[in-house]
Structure 1
Amino acid sequence: MRKQYHARHMLASLLLFSATVATAQTPSAEDFAKRPDAWELSLSPSGQYVAMAVPTADGMETRLEIFNIQSGKSQILRFGPQQHVSDITWTADDQLVVARAEMEPLKARPSTQGELYTTDVKGKNQDVLFGYVPEHEGKRGKRNDHGWSVLAKVLPNEPGMALVNFLCWDCGTEPNTVIFKVDTRTGARKEVERTSGRAYYQFDETGEARLRTTWDDNDEPVQYYRRNKGADWAPLPKSIAGRQIYSVRFAADNNTAYALITDKLEPAQAYRVDIQSGTRTKLASNPDVAVSGFMYGGLEGLPFAVTFDARSPSIQYIDPESEWAKLHAGLMKSFPGEMLSFNSFSRDGNKVLFSVWSDRDPGSYYTFDRATGKAQKLVDYRPWLKPETMAKARPITFVNRGGQNIFGLYTAMGTGPKPMVVMAHGGPFGIYDTWGFDDEVQFLASHGYAVLQVNYRGSGGRGEEFEQAGWKGWGTTIQDDITDGVRWAIDQKLAEPNRICTFGASFGGYTALFQPILNPGMYKCAIGYVGVYDLPLMRKTDKNMGQSKRTARFFDRTLGTDMDALAKVSPVQRVAEINVPVMLVHGGDDHTADLNQYKAMTAALKDAGKPVETFLAPGEGHGFYKPENRAELFRRMDAFLKKHIGSNAK
């Protein structure tokens, strides 16, 4: 307790100092578009180093920086020009594995591309661990891996050794899933498991696969397990999990496991499972919201808490007497209004890497020394964005026309009714908006707008039943929930009813143009960003691009196959009913919402004599990658909204 008291007051003094800094001016479009100082951090098992994924100033490359906590020195490692790294994992005190990544534009951060690199802390012996190295000048490449690889588990008792999950694209009629045991120092690998088709393995502490999920021809999960180490695979008893079991961590006895479980279509709940006896004990649940994850104590420690994030962010300590729960609770008190996550730990448990973040704060990373009770700030994610200049995001709940509780977020500066932007998330299925910092939301709020985000039926975080309730509801069920959310905001005096616009990306772009069709007079303008506007065209385009059978089945289930019905809920087909000014934004190389979607919608609006502004960015894909294009998007949105619901509106 004495250490926790010291930590609280030391960190509180840091916050008092930061609070004395003069309030900054409203950030610019460039400020919101600028890359952060670091994407992710990871503490080495020795506690000596922190590895950081650091973007270059122009955002065109992400490098690996190794920071020595003791000496204060750092070293930059590159993996090739214009290459990005993500998913930093220490496999030994001096060895790391990273994923080759590409920028995910709509998330504006690097995302793995299924290839793995390995390096030591000094940048020597860098190599491709899994990936495709093409032939060069007649010499065969060292790696010829046609597939997708993910580092599945580090083996802490065997320094440098790890398990890699490899989805092999040219193995059999269906891609095989192969588990390799890999020496990350030398690249030597040995196959230990193989399944025909997709499979998801979960391992005990020795690295043996104990749980396996495959999917049948209807894409329903099929669960298997090994009751004892070395046993054959057998069907998983319903007493353990009736439908899904994931996020599994085994205790040292390699029998007790902690997992998130569903029996039918309900929100996931947290359990402690006895594998041999086939019994389980519930640790945490909520009938409306899924447990989003565990919080672990120590490098290979057990869970001390669970988190929920689909309604409002919350933490439930499932082991409140744990030293880690007490440490976490103590540190939380030093950061009022923020969430705090343990990111990684030293092997001896003395050093902890943690991050803090909120709706107004992009986040900061610290190390905490439990022996001294002192914290050291390593990096502010985006120090030029000051929390005191940002708007609060308020979790909301309203009742839709069918009597169901619908969750969402309302973000605005100050109080009282404001001009409002209705911002639907993409997907639409399985994705959901969560409380936290959002560039687009905060940019809009900083210019005086309220932002409404609705987690409509079909959104994730509330179980499969809630998600499936939105299937085949692109233009009906989902839109009803969004409409009901707008009406609720008006009734609550949060929105000025004559100053409302829509904006969204991907499926959100579709919604931005379809909402004004369904609700004449409710909106004054619409902004579609990399959106889909012609559903029959989307289905035809996807099939022509070699859509996988699994993806095709998913669209059949969630969107439907009736092309006449899809045409009736397509903005392109109902352009005569769009009676608001429109702005369309698209990337010239978008292969998700094909460029033909933008062309078709633009042509339809012009042919119908409807006002439309356009912004087509050459070289951009499904969302903008370059900071200068993101900044230009923000500026154009600001001018457009100002004209129709802002200070220049009639």
Structure 2
Amino acid sequence: MKFVALLLCGLVVMSGAMQTAQAQDKVPVEDFFRKSKLAGVTLSPDGKHLAFVAPSTMGDDRMVLAMASVESPQKWTVVAHMRDADVSTVDWVNNSRLVFRVSDRQSTMGEQKGAGLYAVNLDGSEFVWLIAREYGEQDHPIPSKRPLLYNHVYVRTIGDGSDDVLGTLYDRLSYVGEPTYSRPIRLNTKTKGVKVIEDDSPKGSRGWAVNRTATAASFVTTYLDGRVKTLYKKAGKWEVLTDYDAFVTDSEEVIDLAFVDGKGQMFVTAERKDEMRTRALYRFDPEKKQKESEPVFAVKGFDFNGQPLFDGDDRRLLGVSYVSDAAGVVWFEPVMKAMQEEIDRQLPGTNNLIGCTKCVQAKHVVVAAYSDRQPLVYFLFDVAAKKLSLIGASRPWIDSKRMATQDLVYVKTRDGLQMPVYVTKPQGKGPWPAVTLVHGGPWVRGGAWGWDPDAQFLASRGYLVIEPEFRGSLGYGSEFVRRSFKQWGLAMQDDVTDATQWAVKEGLADPKRLVIAGASYGGYATMMGLVKEPDLYRAGINWVGVTDIDLIYDIGWSDADEDWLRLGMPRMVGDQKKDRAQLDATSPLKQAHRITKPVLMAYGTDDKRVPLPHGEKMRDALNRLGKAPVEWVTYRDEGHSWMLEATHIDFWKRVEAFLAKHAN
């Protein structure tokens, strides 16, 4: 047992001599933004082999599909190596066959293709290209190697011992034009044969729930003209269970697509009647069209956004995964509960997530361990011996002892909301210079407790990092979201200010050295922070940020969905005609004359989400006015997020220099 404690403590620490020599040095920027070297470790259904994504040994810097036996988890061999792409995810089809998807870590975002789908046997034989990455690949010169068109979409493995996986077949290659429909399919990973599971597809069908053997569908979610419906098939006919607005929810009983166990029991997520209307997991009776009165699982203050965990043999409910302040699992099955307790006893400093298929009878399980200071580390747990063995670390170059701690606190906003805020504290004592880091979206979950390269890098340079989950952030109830409608630059911005001022009042942040930063919506909030709070922040850092709400509507080459622009934006952000005065007042571009503090701005030239004119117009306005110094950089062919390691490293080096100049 002592071995494991020592192992985790020293796993990612440099050798003693190097550690002493570099103890006072800054951790290099490159160490935070190098891409992980081990990912997706997963155990075969029979528990005999491990599959994972690992670095190539061929000197081409590609990520490959690798495998190892449970007897020697650190001795691995390559199963599949793509010369023009990197393996990104891997799943077991059965005990001897795998499927994987790819990306290209050596290309910019603008040069990326789709993920495709490939299959291969454990020994590297019977390699099959299943689904194309882009349209032109249908013209492959060898017909037998020609993949299916990319309107075939992989969903998950089935686990019935066959060579099939579950997929969705869309009627067209994009969502442009008339409403699409889809059909659930079984895709044979050796023959590329497609078998339709449910041919009676309602218009606009998007998501499906199928039975354990993937032979019949019971639920479907449709999307038409901005409305979401959940339907259940009864006596051969589809019956509507719920019907609600996709953007501004108008139903008290919104039910999301169900999960189905081995006996046909339905599980759904639905709102509770608590103050923030958070979501929970319920059993559901489709005949009565109602959920049980009490949830199967709920987390106070958080939406349920995990899934039931079923045993691989009989699909019996074993537990539930969830995310509160951090990811976790609650086990209902005593065997699994005892296993989790033993693993947590041996790894007390980390959050330990168990991965298995036939869990109750498993001889081994995979453990993914991490903390706020420790990037992912993978272990193999021998159930009978109660022994952990190291598989590997995702970022073995990171010394956890030199990383910062992160906490979730609740800050009361000026209008009385309890706002979650993640705070990452540098080593030493405050008050520190601080960066208020605003997440994008804005209607997404901002973050969760764990190791984060952006926050850790800033903390390593001595900055307190304040990350507010401002109103509109997902995961905290529909009422928390609803209070963000038409509040860009208003109450949403006030939340960011309140989080910053809280840190000052608590003695954590130095009031004379505050900077606001963020990407996408966070870039918008950065610019509006400089507009609304000219005496609070000394500078701002905006990358790929919105600078004018009208531009979201008007730039024709944006990838903004037509339904979002027509039905969502006017009610959730603002109507261009009815809310004209508000949109002008909350436009950083139109309020550029109020910005007087330095700003660093970075954009990708191939960004379709927030096209380059957002940045160029803002830059030009500030330069023309001459009140706020602007540092400007564009990254050729990069999109709304940086793809290349070189881009990440260059950008964060610029951030480091900018902060050293303006926040110290």
Moved more, 267-276 or 610-619: 267-276
TM-aligned CA deviation for residue 580 of structure 1:
0.6
Aligned partner letter, 2:491:
T
Residue in structure 2 matched with residue 494 of structure 1 by the alignment: 508
Residue in structure 2 matched with residue 12 of structure 1 by the alignment: 5
* CA–CA distance in structure 2, aligned partners of residues 63 and 461 of structure 1: 34
- CA deviation digits over 1:24-67, x for unaligned, max 9? 64421011121111232221112222221235699974321222
- CA deviation digits over 1:229-267, x for unaligned, max 9? x754333389xx9312346241x322x244433368822
Residue in structure 1 matched with residue 246 of structure 2 by the alignment: none
Residue in structure 1 matched with residue 597 of structure 2 by the alignment: 580
* CA–CA distance in structure 1, aligned partners of residues 651 and 328 of structure 2: 36
Match of 1:204 among 211, 216, 220: 211
Moved more, 422-431 or 267-276: 267-276
SS of residue matched to 1:437: coil
Aligned partner letter, 1:12:
A
Gaps of 5+ in 1: 1-7
Residue in structure 1 matched with residue 249 of structure 2 by the alignment: none
* Equivalent pair of 1:423/1:452 in contact (CA under 8 Å): yes
SS of residue matched to 1:336: coil
* CA–CA distance in structure 2, aligned partners of residues 511 and 59 of structure 1: 40
Moved more, 484-493 or 407-416: 407-416
Cα 1:114/1:629, change in 2 over 3 Å: closer
Cα 1:518/1:71, change in 2 over 3 Å: closer
* Equivalent pair of 2:218/2:233 in contact (CA under 8 Å): yes
Q: How many residues align?
A: 626
Cα 1:16/1:496, change in 2 over 3 Å: closer
Residue in structure 2 matched with residue 174 of structure 1 by the alignment: 179
Cα 1:370/1:407, change in 2 over 3 Å: same
Residue in structure 1 matched with residue 255 of structure 2 by the alignment: 244
* CA–CA distance in structure 1, aligned partners of residues 478 and 170 of structure 2: 25
Match of 1:260 among 234, 255, 269: 269
TM-score (norm 2): 0.86
Moved more, 606-615 or 445-454: 606-615
Cα 1:147/1:323, change in 2 over 3 Å: same
Cα 1:588/1:112, change in 2 over 3 Å: closer
User: Any residues of structure 2 matched to 1:507-586 within 5 Å, and which?
Assistant: 507-541=521-555, 543-545=556-558, 547-552=560-565, 553-562=567-576, 564=580, 565-586=582-603
User: Any residues of structure 2 matched to 1:166-565 within 5 Å, and which?
Assistant: 166-170=169-173, 173-194=178-199, 195=201, 196-207=203-214, 208-219=216-227, 221-226=228-233, 231-236=236-241, 242-246=253-257, 248-250=259-261, 252-254=262-264, 256-262=265-271, 266-275=277-286, 280=292, 281-294=294-307, 296=309, 298-299=311-312, 301-310=315-324, 312-313=325-326, 315=328, 317=330, 319=332, 322-345=334-357, 348-413=361-426, 414-541=428-555, 543-545=556-558, 547-552=560-565, 553-562=567-576, 564=580, 565=582
* Corresponding position: 1:594 with 2:611: yes
* CA–CA distance in structure 1, aligned partners of residues 83 and 205 of structure 2: 33
- CA deviation digits over 1:344-371, x for unaligned, max 9? 3357422211201111111101111212
* CA–CA distance in structure 1, aligned partners of residues 49 and 436 of structure 2: 44
- CA deviation digits over 1:146-177, x for unaligned, max 9? 5251224x333342122212333259932221
Q: Identity percentage over the alignment?
A: 24
TM-aligned CA deviation for residue 103 of structure 1:
5.8
* CA–CA distance in structure 1, aligned partners of residues 506 and 257 of structure 2: 40
* CA–CA distance in structure 2, aligned partners of residues 475 and 487 of structure 1: 17
* CA–CA distance in structure 1, aligned partners of residues 164 and 143 of structure 2: 29
Cα 1:284/1:54, change in 2 over 3 Å: same
Residue in structure 2 matched with residue 91 of structure 1 by the alignment: 93
TM-aligned CA deviation for residue 644 of structure 1:
1.2
Cα 1:357/1:639, change in 2 over 3 Å: same
* CA–CA distance in structure 1, aligned partners of residues 105 and 374 of structure 2: 22
Residue in structure 2 matched with residue 635 of structure 1 by the alignment: 653
SS of residue matched to 1:293: coil
Match of 2:154 among 150, 153, 175: 150
Aligned partner letter, 1:129:
L
Aligned partner letter, 2:305:
S
Residue in structure 2 matched with residue 4 of structure 1 by the alignment: none
TM-aligned CA deviation for residue 114 of structure 1:
5.5
SS of residue matched to 1:631: helix
Cα 1:401/1:155, change in 2 over 3 Å: same
* Equivalent pair of 1:35/1:55 in contact (CA under 8 Å): no
TM-aligned CA deviation for residue 480 of structure 1:
1.0
* CA–CA distance in structure 2, aligned partners of residues 502 and 27 of structure 1: 23
- CA deviation digits over 1:94-143, x for unaligned, max 9? 1111223356999x9x9993632211122222222223423246979734
